[in-house]
Structure 1
Amino acid sequence: MSSALRASRPWLDPLRTAYLASGLTMNDLSGRVRFAKSKISELLRGVGLYPRWEIVYRLADELGMPNWPLYRLWSQAALETHRSSDWINGCTDRTTVTATHTTPPLDHGAFRELVESDYALYAQVFLDDDQRDNAVSDTFDRLWLSWNEALAHHDTRRYAWNILRTTVMARTPHRDGRPELGNAAFDTVALQNLTDPAHYANELDETVELFTAISRLPDRQLDVIVLRRLCGFTHESASALLGTSLATIRSDERHATRFLDSVIPPPRTEGTAP
């Protein structure tokens, strides 16, 4: 997947979903928005040059999508694909981003208020402050674009968590296909409380080893361990955040702990040969 397509996914995927759900043919859409069918097809397939806002705006308007979160996701992706602020502003000066859709649904706003700080704690384990904030903001914009689908899902919390996870992991450095948690090692309480350089080095080595092992866990177990061990969530609060049963949380934690214990040797005591 190209870097441009990867950056566009947060706004392109909801646009594709809305198009498929609309029942419109490509000919229908072309006639309504007055853009060539080939141009629309190219945009929806994520190929060619990064699209100007005008065509994205017209498609979204025709498909009944809120344009304000879409615009924010489009402009963020434009920056990530090395488009300049001048280019972005030039695309939008002649196209009105109306104020009629700037306020999300009330229940979306209530949900955001409920979980936003917890989402930030999770994202902080993988990302620096700026990337964390962008990932959380993008998550709620993406959720706004698919809010009706989220409400129709059997558990809105689980639906929203999947969007957060996808957004965070898209920004997280990976090694051998698994997310890196190295930056979080420097923020652990154990390391912050150490003043002796030798103890700090030993604790750091052990922490990095633990985080490497955590990164190898299956996705669901990784999330549970991150929330429980690194963010300090109770079983109950992790269950509520993930939209997963309490029994599943405890089962995932048991399996994850068993794996971590199997791959991380116990600490050596003084006088024990290496």
Structure 2
Amino acid sequence: MNRPPVQDADEPAKARKRGRRPSEVDPRVVGTHLVLLSILRDRYQRDGHTIDQLSGDCNFVRSKISELLRGYGGKYPRWEITRAVAAAMELPLAPMCRLWLAGAREACKKEEWIERNAGVGDDWRAPLPRALEGLRDLHGGTYRAYARVHLRPDVADGVVEQALTVVWARMDVVFSSASVAGHVWAVLRDLVMAWADPSTAHGVAATRTVSVRWGCDPLVPADLPGLPDLPDPRDAFVRLTEQTDLFRAMRELAPHHADVLILRYVLGRSAEKTADVLGTDPGMVGLWDRQAQEHLEHAPHLRTTLGGMTT
């Protein structure tokens, strides 16, 4: 994430100093709850907030605010205190409420419990800002296709919407960055990788890749004989094994190298479209492409080449 530059020592202060970093997040905090806390904690430190100041602004005791920012005990917070702290930090309430609602349902909170939180029924209703609507109209198809390489379609689509919501909550940071599209992509990629199961990620990505290339989702053995490009069912499993090896090798690549390969060779996006989505220029996409392929050519456990991704 982009952050404001640190001022020189002899430069007059124009803003509050960074706040003291809160204590570490409880390891039991996961999923959207962790995303929500990350936004609060980043704003807390970046804008120089203190627990004492927030306590005065929010009318909650210091211990409650500290517990919120740490996710103490892994317990899911009520919207009232989350809203109060977000408002004191001048974060937009609509995206924060949407994230809070998603986290509450992930935490298996009953609808009755959710509805008893004051303000929830109204705070989430604001529409997505036009700038983000435009970005979704322009790149939404590619965002969803990329997420579906790694995740089930229903999960992938939800992660794309969550990424746009996170960007909305951090609009001040995003629109002061050098590349808005690049910032949005970084948020999306982080969330996709966070939701992907590392123990099965290679096989899932390989299966999704075969499905994307051959127009079926998901790839099921019973369906294989009917695929025009697969006259022999064994061909699919050979390809699947090769693809799994390829994705395992790609794990060693830098994120932008792996993303270029997926966008260009799995999803079939042009260099220009890939550059637009990643927030860079086609020349840089070409460089990352060449560097990634050179790395894969030397991967000892790779059974196939990039041709396996495109044929």
For Structure 1 versus Structure 2, the TM-score category normalised by the shorter chain is 0.7 to 0.9
**TM-score for the superposition, normalised by structure 1:** 0.86
Question: After superposition, where does 1:1-274 map in structure 2 within 5 Å?
Answer: 2-48=27-73, 49-90=75-116, 92=117, 94-98=118-122, 102-175=126-199, 181-189=205-213, 192=227, 193-263=229-299, 264-265=302-303
Find the residue that maps to 1:187 and give its secondary structure. helix
Q: Do the aligned partners of 1:169 and 1:179 also contact (CA within 8 Å) in 2?
A: no
One-letter code of the match for 1:239? A
- How far residue 225 of structure 1 moved from its aligned partner, in angstroms, is 0.6
One-letter code of the match for 1:86? E
One-letter code of the match for 2:236? Y
- How far residue 99 of structure 1 moved from its aligned partner, in angstroms, is 5.5
Q: Do the aligned partners of 2:115 and 2:121 also contact (CA within 8 Å) in 1?
A: no
Q: Distance in 2 between matches of 1:266 and 1:139?
A: 33
- How far residue 168 of structure 1 moved from its aligned partner, in angstroms, is 0.7
Deviations 1:199-224 (A, max 9, x none): 33323322332233233322121111
Q: Distance in 2 between matches of 1:245 and 1:258?
A: 20
**Greater relative contact order (CA < 8 Å, ≥ 6 in sequence):** 1
Query: Identity, % of aligned pairs?
Result: 29
Deviations 1:55-98 (A, max 9, x none): 101112222222221111112122223333333233x2x33543
Distance 1:188 1:144, change over 3 A: closer
Find the residue that maps to 1:102 and give its secondary structure. coil
Distance 1:20 1:83, change over 3 A: same
Q: Distance in 2 between matches of 1:63 and 1:179?
A: 42
Q: Distance in 1 between matches of 2:124 and 2:100?
A: 18
Q: Distance in 2 between matches of 1:61 and 1:97?
A: 17
Structure 1 runs of 4+ with >6 Å offset: 176-179
CA-atom RMSD, angstroms? 2.6
Q: Do the aligned partners of 1:4 and 1:81 also contact (CA within 8 Å) in 2?
A: no
Deviations 1:174-194 (A, max 9, x none): 149989624414414357531
Q: Distance in 2 between matches of 1:2 and 1:183?
A: 31
| Paired position in structure 2 for 1:272 | none
- How far residue 19 of structure 1 moved from its aligned partner, in angstroms, is 2.9
Distance 1:3 1:45, change over 3 A: closer
Tell me which moved more, 7-16 or 169-178: 169-178
**TM-score for the superposition, normalised by structure 2:** 0.76
Distance 1:198 1:10, change over 3 A: same
More helix by share: 1
Unaligned runs of 5+ in 1: 268-274
Distance 1:146 1:256, change over 3 A: same
